[in-house]
A and B are shown apart, each in its own frame.
Chain A
Amino acid sequence: MKHPFAITLDSGSSLANLTGSWRTDRPVYVDRLPPCNHACPAGENIQAWLYHAESGDYESAWRALTQDNPMPAVMGRVCYQPCETACNRAKVDDAVGINSVERFLGDEAIKRGWRLTPPKAETGKRILVVGAGPSGLSAAYHLRRLGHTVVIYEAGPVAGGMMRFGIPKYRLPRDVLDAEIQHILDLGVELKVNSKVENIRDTMKAGGFDAAFLAVGAHIAKRANIPAGAAAKILDAVQVLRSMEGQEKPLFGRRVVVYGGGNTALDVARTAKRMGATEAIIVYRRTRERMPAHDFEVEEALEEGVMMRWLSTIKRMDEGVLTVEKMVLDDKGFPQPTGEFETLEADSLVLALGQDVDLSLLDGVPGLELKGGVAQVDTNMMTGYAGIFAGGDMVPSERTVTVGIGHGKKAARHIDAWLRGAVYAPPEKHELADFDKLNVWYYADASKTVRPTLDMARRKSTFEEVQKGLDESNALYEARRCLSCGNCFECDNCYGVCPDNAVIKLGPGNRFQFNYDYCKGCWLCEAECPCGAIKMVPETI
C-alpha cells in the first residue's frame, strides 16, 4: 500500500465517480439566429463579420461581409439599418453601430485596395442582367462569383441606378459608389451602358444568354393631379435628383415646396437648400410620426433648416403661390380634409409622391404576371417565364438599396440552381436569439459611438458628405459592442462556471464540448451564457 489505508487518497481519484448520472436536463450548444442577421434584407451575416472586426482583422471582416454584400461602403451610408433596429443591444444601451462599422470596412477596402474574391472555376453559362442598380450589381456579383459569365445592360449612361440618380451626393459620395461598382466589374462582369433592353427575349436570344435577371428599377415619377396655373413651376423628384448628376442643374427659385413624406422628399428638400433655396418646405398630409421617411433623415433635414408642414394637402398651384388644405387624422390615422384652406408662397413645387416601373421590356413575354405596376415573382425570384428572374424595385418589395442588394443575392442563388436544373434550398433558419435568451450582465457598459457630422455651414451650402466615418479605434470599439446574440463567441463562461468541470475547452475557434460523464445538469452554464448559445433539453429517462 502506497499510502496509509483510507485516510490518504490519490490525487484526483474522484474521476471514477461519474456524476453525470445525476442529470435530468442536459445542456447542448446551439447556434441561434442573431436579430441583426434576421432583420437584414441583404441577408448579411452581420455578427460573423463583426466577430472579425472585433479582433481588428478588418480584411477578414470585409471578406465575410462581401460574401453577402459587395457594396459595404455604399450600404454603410445609405442603408436604413433594420439590423440596428432589431439589435438586442438597443435594450441594454444603444444598438451596435453596425452600419458605421460596415462603412468603415467598405472604406477601408477601398483605401487599402482589397479585391473581391474571383470565382474558382467558370461554368460557361451566360447570364443577362438588366439594370446596373443595386439589385443588378448584386446579382451580377453573386452570379460571377459562382463562375457564370455576366453581362449587365444598363439603359443609362453610367452604372449605379437609384444609388446614383436618387441619392444625393452628400449622402453617398460618387467616388465611393464608383469604387465599389469597379470592385464588381473587376471580377470580370461586363457592363454595357446606354443599352436599354427593349425586349428581353430578343436580347437574351441575341446574346446567347441562359438566363436573365431583370432589375430595371422604378424611375418614373408618380404624378398628382394638382390644378395649376400656367406659370406654375411643377417638377418631379426623380427628374430633379437625376438632373443633379448631369450638367444642367435644376432651377428651383428661392422658395421650394416639396410634396410628399418619403425619403425622396427629404432628399429633394435638402438638395434644394444646397442649391441656394432660402426656403425649402415639405408638405405632407399626415404627421411626422407617420412619415415614411427615416427619422434620422428628418432630423438632419430639420437641422439644415428644411421646414415641415404637416397635415396638409396641396389643392392647386398658381404662380408663386400654393393653396393648401389643412387635414385632420381620423380614428384610423387617415388624413381627412377639414375645408380650411391656406396659401403658401412657392417659386416651385417638387412632387415626391413615389415612382413607377417601366415594364415595357416585358411586353409579350408569355406567362408573365404584372400586378400593381410591378412584376410578380415566385419565392425563387423567377417570373412566370422560366429563366427570367426579377428583383429590386420592379418586384413587390420595400424599395431600398438594401432590399435590392438582397434580391440580387437571392436571385443569383436561384438562377444558379435553376441553371443546374436544381432548386436552391436555403439553409434552415435557426431559432431567433431573443433578448431574453441573453445574460447581458457580462457585457461591459458602452454606449454607441456618435459618428461625426459635417459642420452646419458646409452642410447647407455644399454637397460634402454629411456623416463622417469612424476611425479605426472607434470602429473597433463599435464592433466590440456586438453581443454575439445566439452564437458562441468563446467567452469561456460555460467552461468557467461549471462547478463540476464538465465543460471541455477545445481551443481557439473550436468552441466547447460538454463532458456528460460529469455534468450534473445544474443549468449554470445555460444561465450564465451571455449570448444564449446553450440550451437545456430534458434527458430521456
Chain B
Amino acid sequence: MTDPTATATANQKLHFYQKGTFTVGNRLVPDTERSVQASIDRSNALTCGHRACQGCGEALGARYAMDAAMRATGGNLIAVNATGCLEVFTTPYPETSWQMPWLHSLFGNAAAVATGVAAAMQVKGRKEVRTIAQGGDGGTTDIGFGCLSGMFERNDDVLYICYDNEGYMNTGVQRSSATPPTARTATTPAMGPEPGNVFGTGKSVPKIAVAHGIPYVATATVADLHDLERKVMKAMGIHGARYIQIHVPCPLGWGSASHDTIRLARLAVECGMFPVFEAEHGIVTSSRKIRRPVPVAEYLKPQRRFAHLFKDGGDSQRLGHLQAIADRNIVEYKLLEPEEEAG
C-alpha cells in the first residue's frame, strides 16, 4: 500500500472527482462530504409505500429536501404540508409515509401554519426544532400566495419549499400560475388557434420572494442533488424566512416517461427555461451555469403537453417565443457566463 497520508494529500490537491461530481455518491470523498442521499443513514423522511406515480419528481424532491434538512437539524424538524399530490400520496389513512413530525392543514395556508409551528417552538424554548412548510406550485404560487407573502414579510423562521411541477396535478392537471406558456393542461387545452397556455401569463415566485428581501431564496431541481442539498442545508443554517423552489417533473401532468423525470429536470436547466439561482437579502448572488446548452425544443419534445408544438412540421413561431424566454433567462441570470472564482 502507498502511504495513506500521501494519497489524502493528493486527493486534497485534486478536486476532480470524475464519478462523484454529479452522481449521488462518491466513494472517494469522506462520508461527511458526501450527499445526504448517499448515506446509508439518511433519514428517509419520506419512506417506502407512498402512492406517488412511477417516476414522481415530487416524491424525489421532497425526500431530497427533507433528508437534507433532517441532517442539517439533527432530526429536529417539523414539516407542514399544503394540500396537494404530496399530501395525498403520502398520508392516506391509515398509512403515512412520513418519518418526521408532519402536519397537513389546508391547501392555501401551509406558510401560515408553519409560522404557528415555529412560533410554538420559539415560545416552548425549543429553538433547536426548525420548521419547514412545503407545497406544490398551486398551493404556493396561487392559493397559498397570500400566506406565503405574509410569512416572508414578517421574516418568520420558516423555510418554505415549493415543489414546482407547473400545474395542479393532484386535481387532474389544470393550469397554475407556474404553468409555462403553450403547455397543455385540462384548463388550457391544446385546441384552437393558440393551443395550450397563453403567453404573457404566470409569475416568478422566486423573484417575488427575492423582492421581499428575505435572507435566502433559491431555486433547484431534482436533477442536481448536490446543488439542492447544499441549498437546503444552507437555508437551514439561516434564521428567518427562506424560500426554495424545486423543479419536479411530473410524468402524469407533463405526459413524459417515468424514466425521463430527472432528464427533463436537467434539460429544463440546460436549455434555460428553469434558471437555477440563489439570492440573499434581496440580491441574486449566484446562478448555476449551463453545462451543455440545448435548444428548448430538446426539453419540450419528450413532453406530450407540448406535443402540439411539434405537430405538422412544428409551430416555429411559438417555439421561437419559448426559446426567447429561455434566452432571456440566460442573459438575466448569466447562465452561460463562466463561473465566478470562489473568493
Interface residue ranges, A against B (CB under 8 Å): 6-7, 9-19, 22, 54-60, 112, 441-446, 472-473, 476-477, 480-484, 489-493, 495-497, 499-502, 505, 507-508, 515, 517-518, 520-524, 526-528, 530
Contacts and interface: CB of A to CB of B under 8 A. Distances in A.
Contact of A499 (B26, B34, B55, B292): B55
A262 B11 CA distance: 42
Given A495-B37, A515-B48, A17 B95 contact: yes
A520 B262 CA distance: 16
A427 B168 CA distance: 54
Among A56, A112, A473, the one with the most B-chain Cβ atoms within 10 Å of its Cβ is A56
B199 interface: no
Among A17, A489, A524, A527, the one with the most B-chain Cβ atoms within 10 Å of its Cβ is A524
Contacts of B52: 499-500
B16 A444 contact: yes
A493 B96 CA distance: 26
A9 B266 CA distance: 36
Contacts of A522: 54-55, 258-259, 261
B90 A496 contact: no
Contacts of A520: 54
B27 A56 contact: no
Interface stretch (B17-25, B116-124, B140-148): B17-25
Given A473-B14, A493-B23, A500-B48, A12 B7 contact: no
A501 B2 contact: no
A445 B290 CA distance: 13
Contacts of B11: 56, 476
18 contacts: A9-B94, A9-B95, A14-B96, A14-B97, A16-B49, A55-B28, A57-B1, A444-B22, A446-B18, A482-B18, A491-B19, A491-B26, A499-B57, A499-B63, A508-B27, A522-B55, A523-B54, A523-B257
B19 A521 contact: no
Contacts of A476: 10-11, 14
Contacts of B47: 12, 14-15, 501
A520 B18 CA distance: 30
Interface residues of B, number: 62
Interface in B24-81: 24-28, 34-35, 37-38, 40, 44, 46-52, 54-57, 59-60, 63
B96 A10 contact: yes
B85 interface: no
A523 B96 contact: no
Given A444-B21, A476-B14, A530-B23, A14 B54 contact: no
Contacts of A501: 44, 46-48, 63
A435 B99 CA distance: 40
A366 B90 CA distance: 79
Given A13-B95, A484-B19, A502-B48, A490 B258 contact: no
B100 interface: yes
Contacts of A484: 19
Contacts of A444: 16-18, 21-22
A502 to B, nearest CB: 6
Nearest to A10: B96
A56 B10 contact: yes
